[in-house]
């Protein structure tokens, strides 16, 4: 079984995927970490030294490697993963268990204020610009994110509630 968590930066994909992996007794993979291991450098370094287009190409390659494997896993995608190439189509072909962790832009901007530094797309933004950036970016990405088989409205859910909700929706 392959389970996918997608959503904007700061939406807690990795944290929830880890908790799910314990409950479902399935390995947890964070796509950003997978890329970092394969490339031998951090996402920030890849963006800085090779640029975003290179990062997106590698992201597509490593996602396909995971999609084409026989392995079961819970995969936390990068925030942009569903929005490039045919990634979202390929993810939906591979699984019915595709969850979008949806937050209001305001909540995301607040969550991201303290975790910008390792995220090259927003690291340079001041907190005032952040909300506007997130609003526009989410608007652009919504057509991809909203194709997920399940949309979990996260703003008023605790981590436990989100976990229970996802567990109740997972199908074999």
Residue ranges that bind ligand S3P, judged by CB under 6 A: 9, 32, 43, 78-80, 119-121
Least distance in Å: CB of 9 to ligand S3P?
4
Burial 129-161 (b: 16+ CB within 10 A, else e): ebbebbeebbeebeebbebbeeebebeeeeeee
- Beta carbon nearer to ligand S3P, 26 or 108: 108
Residue ranges of alpha helices (H) inside the chain are 13-24, 31-39, 43-50, 52-67, 87-94, 105-112, 127-145, 159-169
Least distance in Å: CB of 159 to ligand S3P?
17
- Beta carbon nearer to ligand S3P, 79 or 105: 79
Handedness of CA 87, 89, 90, 96 (dihedral sign): positive
Least distance in Å: CB of 143 to ligand S3P?
15
Are the C-beta atoms of 9 and 82 separated by less than 8 Å?
A: no
- Beta carbon nearer to ligand S3P, 80 or 105: 80
Structure tokens at 26: 């399935």
Least distance in Å: CB of 40 to ligand S3P?
17
- Beta carbon nearer to ligand S3P, 29 or 172: 29
Least distance in Å: CB of 171 to ligand S3P?
25
- Beta carbon nearer to ligand S3P, 121 or 151: 121
Alpha-carbon distance of 154 to 39, in angstroms, equals 32
Distance of CA 164 to the CA centre of its chain: 19
Closest Cα to residue 96, out of 16, 12, 169, 19? Answer: 169
């Amino acid at each position: 079984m392959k389970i996918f968590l997608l959503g904007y930066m700061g939406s807690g994909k990795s944290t929830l995927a880890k908790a799910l992996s314990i409950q479902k007794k399935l390995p947890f993979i964070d796509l950003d970490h997978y890329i970092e291991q394969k490339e031998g450098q951090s996402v920030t370094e890849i963006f800085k030294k090779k640029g975003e287009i290179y990062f997106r190409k590698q992201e597509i390659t490593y996602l396909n490697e995971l999609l084409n494997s026989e392995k079961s896993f819970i995969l936390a995608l990068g925030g942009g993963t569903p929005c490039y190439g045919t990634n979202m189509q390929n993810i939906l072909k591979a699984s019915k268990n595709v969850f979008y962790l949806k937050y209001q832009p305001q909540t995301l901007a607040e969550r991201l204020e303290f975790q910008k530094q390792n995220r090259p797309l927003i690291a340079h933004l001041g907190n005032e610009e952040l909300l506007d950036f997130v609003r526009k970016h989410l608007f652009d990405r919504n057509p991809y994110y909203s194709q997920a088989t399940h949309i979990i409205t996260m703003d008023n859910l605790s981590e436990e509630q989100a976990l229970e909700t996802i567990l109740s929706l997972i199908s074999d």
